[in-house]
Amino acid sequence: MSNGPILTIVGARPNFMKAAPVHVAFERAGHHHEIIHTGQHYDDNMSKVFFDDLRMPKPSVYLGVGSGSHAVQTANVMIGLEQVFLEKKPAMVNVVGDVNSTMAAALVASKLSIPVAHIEAGLRSRDWTMPEEVNRAVTDVLSDLLLTPSEDADQNLIAEGKPRERIVRVGNVMIDTLFMNLPAAKARDVPGEMGLEHGGYAVLTMHRPSNVDVPDTFARILSALLEIQQRIPIVFPIHPRTRKRMQESDVGKRFESAKNIRLTEPLGYLEFLSLTARAKFVITDSGGLQEETTALGMPCLTIRENTGRPVTVDEGTNVVVGTDDEKIRSEANKILDGRGKSGRAPALWDGKTSERIVSAVATFLATSPGIRRL
Ligand code: UD1
């Protein structure tokens, strides 16, 4: 086993808020821990603002791989990380979530016989058209330590034949970040600055290729949203992929100029949390936001046909509405008529997940005689 550092690999926006508390917890426990950034996301408002808001140290390496097709992006991350791992000889590589950088890092580490811990292991949507589902399944096959957020994730891994001793349920690390930053986010009044009343607007995020790259689906969702905005203003921090698609379609152009649609650039972590914490409800196709709304007790409509986070539906405030315009409209009307879903925070979504991650990794390193492949 190497005496080198423990590395956590980040690449895209949803990784940053998961890595922030992990870094703090490793340092607090006296480990040498470094953050490596692949540069999958590179715009300041998709990347740097999160490092600033979450007071994360500068990554010790920034690869700058940028955008590209899945193959190009994944390959560039692999080429860059192989060099980094050969030089740093890490004792362990932590990967988080399900983006291309996650899977690429797991592949490189495992081929160099460096142990891999997957934070947020075991989530499955069973929708193989989603790139994230491929990334999750591959990453879990390659990981030596499977750190899961919820019981359903444990069950998925067991059903796939993963040894139970590799699975450690640690809870939801993104909720550590949420709880830690909620007071600072609430100290800001982003809705007020936009002229919105607390509880008097909805927040929308939408960037999944299956929603925005398929013209019929995109048009159907936008036409439902055009009706909803007649009853309540909708704030929409728009992902670069979606902005591009919006400008290419007629309904997109109509949507952009609708009276009650407030388009903004992608927001930083604190600004966005200031908005979501005081909204009436959230409409999203993001995975993380389904969890954050459950932790906040805020009704959430998920515009996807399935969810990789069933616990947010079983226990939380999430309703999976798919992409049918009628269903999106009727569920939004339910909330506006005071019949929104309530819920509770699932077990181990308690702000202490990063500490449990550190102790699971430390136990693994102390007791594992070497790499044991699944
Ligand atoms: C990626 C993740 C997705 C996650 C999302 C969050 C994968 C397969 N997907 O999707 O799981 O929910 O991040 O945002 O890893 N672009 C910019 N600036 C940037 C980054 C991207 O303009 O900083 C544009 C580029 O035109 C790029 C496009 O956005 O081609 C898509 O970026 P990419 O990283 O390929 O995937 P996302 O859709 O962001």
CA of 99 to the centre of ligand 1 (A): 9
Mean pLDDT of 121-125: 97
Ligand 1, atom 16: closest residue by C-alpha? 240
Mean pLDDT of the chain: 96
Instruction: Reply yes or no on whether the pLDDT at 373 is more than 50.
Output: no
Q: What was the pLDDT predicted at 366?
A: 94
- Tell me what pLDDT residue 374 has: 36
CA 208 – ligand 1 centroid, Å: 9
> 149-170 pLDDT, tens per residue?
999 999 999 999 999 999 999 9
CA–CA–CA angle 48, 49, 50 (5° rounding): 90
The model's pLDDT over 230-250, given as tens digits with 9 standing for 90+, comes to: 999 999 999 999 999 999 999
Confidence of residue 371 (pLDDT cuts 50, 70, 90): low
Q: What pLDDT was estimated at residue 49? A: 97
Tell me the backbone φ, ψ of residue 181, rounded to 5 degrees. -105, -5
Instruction: Provide the b/e sequence for 246-279 (b: ≥16 CB within 10 Å).
Output: beeeebbeebeeeebbbbeebbbbbbbbbbbbbb
Give dist(CA 187, CA 196) in Å, integer: 16
Looking from the CA of residue 131, the nearest atom of ligand 1 is: 8
Query: Whose alpha carbon is nearest atom 17 of ligand 1?
Result: 240
Is 23 known to be catalytic? no
For the sheet containing 300-302, what is the strand order? 261-264, 234-237, 202-205, 281-284, 300-302, 318-320
pTM: 0.95
How many angstroms separate the CA atoms of 15 and 310, rounded? 20
Grouping H, G, I as helix, E, B as strand and the rest as coil, residue 263 is strand
List, for residues 250-281, the tens digit of each pLDDT value. Answer: 999 999 999 999 999 999 999 999 999 999 99
Closest atom of ligand 1 to 208 CA is 38
pLDDT for residue 369 = 59
Task: Tell which residue, 131, 90, 83, has the closest CA to residue 8.
Answer: 90
Which residues touch 7 (CB under 8 Å, ≥6 apart)? Answer: 33, 34, 35, 36, 84, 85, 88, 90, 92, 93, 94
Q: What is the mean pLDDT of residues 22-51?
A: 97
Q: Which two tokens stand for residue 139?
A: 């990453």
List beta partners, residue 234.
202, 261
Structure token pair of residue 160: 């796939």
Share above pLDDT 70 across residues of the chain, in percent, rounded to a whole number: 98
Listed residue (183, 175, 280) closest to 235, CA to CA: 280
What's the mean pLDDT in 282-289? 97
CB of 43 closer than 6 A to ligand 1?
yes
Pick from 38, 40, 125 the residue to mutate for probing ligand 1's pocket: most ligand atoms within 8 Å of its CB. Answer: 40
List the one residue out of 180, 95, 156, 120 whose CA is nearest residue 350.
180
Helices (H), the chain: 13-28, 48-53, 70-88, 100-111, 131-142, 151-159, 173-186, 190-193, 209-212, 215-228, 240-248, 250-256, 269-276, 287-296, 311-314, 325-336, 353-367
Structure tokens at 38: 């692949």
> Would you tell me how many other CB atoms lie within 10 Å of the CB of residue 366?
8
Q: Is the pLDDT of residue 196 over 60?
A: yes
Confidence (pLDDT) at 370: 57
pLDDT (average), residues 306-322: 97
Q: Crossing angle for the helix pair 13-28 and 353-367, nearest 10 degrees?
A: 70
